[in-house]
Amino acid sequence: MNTEQKLNSIVPWGRNLEEYRQIFSLSKEDLQKKILGCGDGPSSFNAELTARGGEITSIDPIYKFTKEQLTKRIDEVSVEVMGMVRQYSSNFVWKNIKNPDELESIRMSAMRRFLADYEQGLEQKRYRFEMLPSLSFEDRSFDLALSSHFLFLYSEHLDFEFHLNSILEMLRVAEEVRIFPLMTLNNIYSPHLDKVREVLAKRGYTSEIIKTEYEFQQGADEMMKVYRGTN
């Protein structure tokens, strides 16, 4: 994946707060923590959590674009993506989301919610144009750093070093890191997963694989939780 993205090469696609809650097994207490979303893109997690009084900052390279640019790109991309989903619908698990029509409605309302909040969020520095593996925040600025559908998923495009450095950077700025899914776009476990866990263990971090209630991509129903020490 080219992290120096051009508008016509990005595929903005975003989930909502309820999906993030299921993906990361977020408890009521977790949602009150200071959260950093890495690669939140056009998801409505930030908008919805902010509206509920949560403390959330999202970073993503797409936040360099204007609301108009992102709106146009989301409209273009949604037609293509939904066409593919309908064509290959048997490749997905219709459990949490019942069918392609429901998927389209959930995704489009999440992205509209994001767009409605985007300019205010930029002003309030809740949306920041930053990219892993390097973040501008002070050490331990957050309680929890999340990566939904970015790390591990694109393991065919992003190498081991990128993954390790990104996770260590997230652990520098946050007490705990959660990543979902652990599988690549080809529905296999990320080839980086075991090696990353080994290095983290050597550096004194604990990593746990936790089954979640969310599954859309076949077999991708686990997240990784990482924290300092042994809890």
Ligand X SMILES: C[S@@+](CC[C@H](N)C(=O)[O-])C[C@H]1O[C@@H](n2cnc3c(N)ncnc32)[C@H](O)[C@@H]1O
Residue ranges in contact with ligand X by CB under 6 A: 1, 3, 10, 13-15, 38-41, 43, 60-62, 131-132, 148-150
Q: How far apart are CA 79 and CA 59, in angstroms?
A: 26
Q: How far apart are CA 59 and CA 89, in angstroms?
A: 31
Which residue number, 158 or 193, has a Cβ lying nearer to ligand X? Answer: 158
Closest residue to ligand X: CB criterion: 41
We find the least distance from the C-beta atom of residue 99 to ligand X, in angstroms, to be: 19
We find the least distance from the C-beta atom of residue 13 to ligand X, in angstroms, to be: 6
Which residue number, 148 or 207, has a Cβ lying nearer to ligand X? Answer: 148
Q: 105-135 in b/e burial notation, b at 16+ Cβ within 10 A?
A: ebbeebbebbbebbeebeeeebbbebbbbeb
Which residue number, 54 or 206, has a Cβ lying nearer to ligand X? Answer: 54
Which residue number, 51 or 201, has a Cβ lying nearer to ligand X? Answer: 51
We find the least distance from the C-beta atom of residue 229 to ligand X, in angstroms, to be: 26
We find the least distance from the C-beta atom of residue 22 to ligand X, in angstroms, to be: 12
Which residue number, 60 or 117, has a Cβ lying nearer to ligand X? Answer: 60
Helix (H, G, I), strand (E, B) or coil at 15: coil
Q: Are 42 and 110 in contact (CB under 8 A)?
A: yes
DSSP label of 64:
G
Which residue number, 40 or 215, has a Cβ lying nearer to ligand X? Answer: 40
We find the least distance from the C-beta atom of residue 38 to ligand X, in angstroms, to be: 5
| CA separation, residue 135 to residues 37, 44, 50 (Å) | 12, 22, 21
We find the least distance from the C-beta atom of residue 62 to ligand X, in angstroms, to be: 5
Within 10 Å of residue 13's Cβ, how many Cβ atoms?
16
Backbone angles phi, psi at 37, to 5 degrees: -100, 120
Which residue number, 3 or 89, has a Cβ lying nearer to ligand X? Answer: 3
We find the least distance from the C-beta atom of residue 230 to ligand X, in angstroms, to be: 29
Backbone angles phi, psi at 76, to 5 degrees: -65, -50
Sheet containing 55-59: order of strands: 127-128, 55-59, 34-38, 142-148, 174-180, 222-228, 205-211
